[in-house]
């Protein structure tokens, strides 16, 4: 069974089908586009480092005072450190985007977010952020080490190309072939054959050069450990969402089957038993047994209706969350005020979560709080669906004392929401749930 496809140019080098894949072309594109990037970033950085260039020239003359040389060194350092990040930051952003040619793994910037909006917090964050100075270090490598790396690879490619074309080039004079030269077609033919043999090595040279450059870029321009952890967490979240969606679909199927199948048959059975009672002479043992069976069927029908209602109330499906919450309030043993400010109907999954959060919270109010009244407030603001359940009971609610609140927190976490609880001794208790909502 073939393994997973390679995600970097260096990993692709070990694949048998490397020459038939897109990696040679991606690597060539990466190497060839590096030159314009080096030129664009090199000009401003060289201007910033101009005092150092003057320092080196003065040092070569040997007739400048030490004070002037030290001043040039300090001035160059100040210019590079003060204004270098202004060049390095956009360069790093471009290089993270360009890196996808030779490394398809996700790479995010390791930069911290400013604590507050505004220019000064942004500058303070950037100049105290280690990622900024790694970006500057990469810019220096891009102007010094990387051109040498690619130049070696391109020199090898050029030499192979000259060897292949040498029988044609000797017509204009001797052709230099490294340590030797060819002056005639006869002398050039062996080199041309050797060049043809080496021609498949060209993609490998370019991929190796581009791959090493990509490794340097990944090490300096991103937070690799953080990206791996983020990718794993994203996959866990997606897997959890898929499981929840599958569970919700199965739950709705069971509700539909009970409502349209078992409940309808039970209703028909209850009607048939009622009609049979009318035809049965009163006072006989058979009439008594039939009446008992009729009452049990009606009780079972009521229990089945409650079971279906607990899975997903039909009112919630038909009329939405506000109507379903009003029904919950009417059935609660304590007076409950409901306020639902929802300009648009939330997604079905969020409706389910909010409904069952409120149902569980009101059940806890009735069982444990000794409250005389409660309130439910549901609203949506700036993409957040929030629900608050407040009661005037004795307080002291603690998730560690039972699984109810923990279950609510788990249900809310499925939708990337959060649950907040305030329940001091003596009350009041406020349960707040916030869910990201693509409403509107």
CB 105 within 8 A of CB 228: no
Question: Percent of the chain at pLDDT above 90?
Answer: 19
Segment among 26-35, 52-61, 303-312 with least mean pLDDT: 303-312
pLDDT at 215: 92
CB 92 within 8 A of CB 140: no
The arithmetic mean of pLDDT across residues 221-239, rounded, is 57
Rounded Cα distance between 229 and 243, Å, is: 21
Q: Domain residue spans in the chain?
A: 9-222, 238-311, 315-436
CB 163 within 8 A of CB 181: no
Position 224 pLDDT exceeds 60: no
The most confident of 17-26, 167-176, 378-387, by mean pLDDT:
17-26
Q: Token pair of 405, please? A: 């609140």
pLDDT at 74: 81
Position 317 pLDDT exceeds 90: no
Higher local confidence (pLDDT), 410 or 380? 380
Segment among 17-21, 237-241, 371-375, 435-439 with least mean pLDDT: 237-241
Higher local confidence (pLDDT), 234 or 101? 101
Q: What is the mean pLDDT of the chain?
A: 80
Topology of domain 315-436, CATH: Heat Shock Protein 90 (3.30.565)
Segment among 193-197, 202-206, 253-257 with least mean pLDDT: 253-257
pLDDT at 147: 93
The arithmetic mean of pLDDT across residues 190-199, rounded, is 89
Tens-place pLDDT, residues 43-81: 888 888 888 777 777 776 766 667 766 777 788 788 888
pLDDT at 39: 92
> Which residues have a Cβ under 8 Å from the Cβ of 36 and sit 6 or more positions away?
none
The arithmetic mean of pLDDT across residues 320-324, rounded, is 83
Higher local confidence (pLDDT), 152 or 78? 152
208: confidence class by pLDDT, cuts 50, 70, 90? very high
Angle among Cα 386, 425, 412 to the nearest 5 degrees reads 25
Tens-place pLDDT, residues 232-254: 555 555 655 565 565 566 566 66
117: confidence class by pLDDT, cuts 50, 70, 90? confident
The arithmetic mean of pLDDT across residues 420-431, rounded, is 84
Nearest CA among 37, 26, 31 for reference residue 103: 26
Nearest CA among 21, 4, 212 for reference residue 99: 212
Tens-place pLDDT, residues 333-376: 889 898 988 877 888 778 888 888 888 888 888 888 888 889 99
CB 261 within 8 A of CB 143: no
The arithmetic mean of pLDDT across residues 403-410, rounded, is 71
Question: Percent of the chain at pLDDT above 70?
Answer: 80
Alpha helix ranges (H) inside 181-262: 185-198, 201-221, 224-257
The arithmetic mean of pLDDT across residues 303-328, rounded, is 70
Segment among 16-20, 45-49, 145-149, 261-265 with least mean pLDDT: 261-265
Alpha helix ranges (H) inside 62-184: 66-98, 119-127, 130-169
User: Phi then psi for 407, rounded to 5 degrees?
Assistant: -65, -40
Cα Dmax for the chain: 132
* Cα dihedral 250/251/254/260 (nearest 10): -120
Position 148 pLDDT exceeds 80: yes
1: confidence class by pLDDT, cuts 50, 70, 90? very low
CB 337 within 8 A of CB 329: yes
Position 84 pLDDT exceeds 70: yes
The arithmetic mean of pLDDT across residues 137-146, rounded, is 92
The arithmetic mean of pLDDT across residues 143-159, rounded, is 92
pLDDT at 42: 87
């Amino acid at each position: 069974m073939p393994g997973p496809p390679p995600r970097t140019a260096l990993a692709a080098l070990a694949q048998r089908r490397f020459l038939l894949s897109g990696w040679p072309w991606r690597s060539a594109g990466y190497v060839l586009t590096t030159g314009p990037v080096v030129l664009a970033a090199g000009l401003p950085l060289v201007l910033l480092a101009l005092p150092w260039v003057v320092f080196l020239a003065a040092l070569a003359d040997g007739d400048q005072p030490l004070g002037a040389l030290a001043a040039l060194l300090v001035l160059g350092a100040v210019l590079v450190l003060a204004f270098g990040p202004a060049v390095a930051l956009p360069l790093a952003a471009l290089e993270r985007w360009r890196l996808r040619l030779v490394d398809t793994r996700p790479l995010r910037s390791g930069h911290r977010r400013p604590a507050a909006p505004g220019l000064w917090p942004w500058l303070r964050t950037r100049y105290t952020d280690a990622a900024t100075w790694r970006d500057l270090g990469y810019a220096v490598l891009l102007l010094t080490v990387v051109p040498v790396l690619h130049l070696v690879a391109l020199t090898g490619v050029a030499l192979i190309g000259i060897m292949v074309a040498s029988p044609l080039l000797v017509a204009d004079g001797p052709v230099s072939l490294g340590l030797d030269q060819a002056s005639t077609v006869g002398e050039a033919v062996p080199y041309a054959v050797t060049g043809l043999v080496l021609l498949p090595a060209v993609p490998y040279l370019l991929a190796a050069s581009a791959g090493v450059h990509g490794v340097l870029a990944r090490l300096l321009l991103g937070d690799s450990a953080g990206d791996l952890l983020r990718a794993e967490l994203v996959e866990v979240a997606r897997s959890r969402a898929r499981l929840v969606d599958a569970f919700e679909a199965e739950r709705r199927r069971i509700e539909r089957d009970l409502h349209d199948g078992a409940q309808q048959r039970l209703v028909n059975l209850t009607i048939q038993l009622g009609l049979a009672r009318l035809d049965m002479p009163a006072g006989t043992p058979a009439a008594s047994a039939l009446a008992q069976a009729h009452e049990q069927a009606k009780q079972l029908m009521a229990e089945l209706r409650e079971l279906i209602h607990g899975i997903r109330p039909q009112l919630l499906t038909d009329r939405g969350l506000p109507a379903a919450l009003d029904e919950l309030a009417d059935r609660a043993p304590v007076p409950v005020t409901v306020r639902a400010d929802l300009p648009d109907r939330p997604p079905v999954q969020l409706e389910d979560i909010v409904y069952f959060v409120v149902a569980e919270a009101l059940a806890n109010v009735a069982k444990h709080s000794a409250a005389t009244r409660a309130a439910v407030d549901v609203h949506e603001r700036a993409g957040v669906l929030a629900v608050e359940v407040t009661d005037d009971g004795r307080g002291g609610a603690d998730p560690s004392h039972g699984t109810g609140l923990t279950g609510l927190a788990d249900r809310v976490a499925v939708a990337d929401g959060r649950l907040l609880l305030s329940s001091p001794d003596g009350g009041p208790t406020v349960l707040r749930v916030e869910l990201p909502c693509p409403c509107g």
